[in-house]
């Protein structure tokens, strides 16, 4: 199942610059999202660290889904994003005690979150073969953090069969470009 997900994801993420932007800005976006969620607790029940918020739910439940799809990626994703969540809690409490950020934590997090989204948009708009289709690719919003972790792990030597998976994505992109070129030629002829 992860192979199919990765290949379909790779069709929209073939360019190395775009992949690098994703490797940097997807985790940063997750951090800012966790930080924003600290400002909107769901209820006053204290769970593990602090009040229950959407960030805690996401950092707890989504890695379970990742574990079911790819166990190593699930474990590493859980640890990595848990560290980001914990850091967001620390920074939130520092600002709430006016130790850091001059009590502008929320505004800085919104700006950071929007900046990260802008960088992801730039990666897709200017470096990719095909533009993303947000409606068809909605599932990538959930799986993109896991795929970023998988890309980093594969760069470090995990899973030797990833080259074959990338070839499948490249073949699909080549076919897409060929069809697009033929459609443009047909349009010119008419």
Model confidence pLDDT, tens digit, residues 157-182: 888 777 787 788 778 877 877 777 77
The span from the CA of 63 to the CA of 177, in Å, is 35
Mind giving me the DSSP string for the chain? -HHHHHHHHHHT---HHHHHHHHHHHHHHHHHHHHHHTTS-S-S-EETTEE--HHHHHHHHHHHHHHHH-HHHHHHHHHHHHHHHHHHHHHHHHHHTTSSGGG-HHHHHHHHHHHHHHHHHHHHHHH-SS---TTTTTHHHHHHHHHHHHHHHHHTT--TTHHHHHHHHHHHHHHHHHHHHHHHHHHHH-
| Cross-strand pairs, 50 | 47
Whether pLDDT at 27 is above 60: yes
**Could you give the percent of the chain with pLDDT greater than 90?**
16
Q: Report the number of distinct structural domains present in the chain.
A: 1
pLDDT at residue 46 above 80?
no
Position 189 confidence tier, pLDDT thresholds 50, 70, 90: confident
Residue 186 placed within a domain: no
pLDDT, position 49: 58
Q: Per the domain annotation, does 74 fall within a domain?
A: yes
Q: Which domain holds residue 28?
A: 12-158
Residue 56 has pLDDT above 60, yes or no: yes
> Would you say residue 81 lies in a domain?
yes
Range 110-116 average pLDDT:
95
Residue 175 lies in a domain: no
- Say if 184 falls within a structural domain: no
Residue 133 is assigned to a structural domain of this protein: yes
Confidence check: pLDDT of 100 > 60: no
Residue 129: pLDDT above 80?
Answer: no
Whether residue 3 lies inside any domain: the answer is no
Task: Classify residue 7: in a domain, yes or no.
Answer: no
Residue 104: per-residue pLDDT: 81
């Amino acid at each position: 199942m992860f192979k199919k997900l990765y290949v379909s994801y790779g069709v929209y993420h073939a360019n190395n610059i775009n992949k690098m932007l994703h490797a940097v800005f997807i985790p940063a976006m997750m951090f800012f999202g966790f930080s924003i969620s600290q400002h909107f607790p769901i209820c006053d029940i204290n769970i593990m660290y602090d009040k229950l918020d959407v960030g805690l739910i996401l950092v707890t439940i989504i890695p379970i889904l990742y574990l079911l799809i790819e166990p190593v990626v699930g474990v590493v994703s859980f640890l990595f994003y848990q560290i980001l969540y914990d850091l967001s809690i620390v920074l939130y409490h520092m600002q709430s005690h006016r130790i850091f950020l001059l009590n502008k934590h929320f505004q800085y997090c919104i700006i950071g979150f929007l900046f990260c989204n802008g960088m992801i948009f730039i990666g897709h708009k200017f470096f990719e073969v095909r533009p993303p289709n947000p409606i068809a690719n909605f599932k990538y919003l959930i799986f993109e953090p896991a795929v970023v972790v998988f890309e980093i792990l594969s760069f470090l030597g995990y899973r030797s069969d990833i080259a074959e998976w990338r070839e499948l994505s490249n073949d699909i992109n080549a076919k897409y470009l060929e069809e697009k070129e033929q459609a443009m030629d047909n349009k010119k002829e008419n």
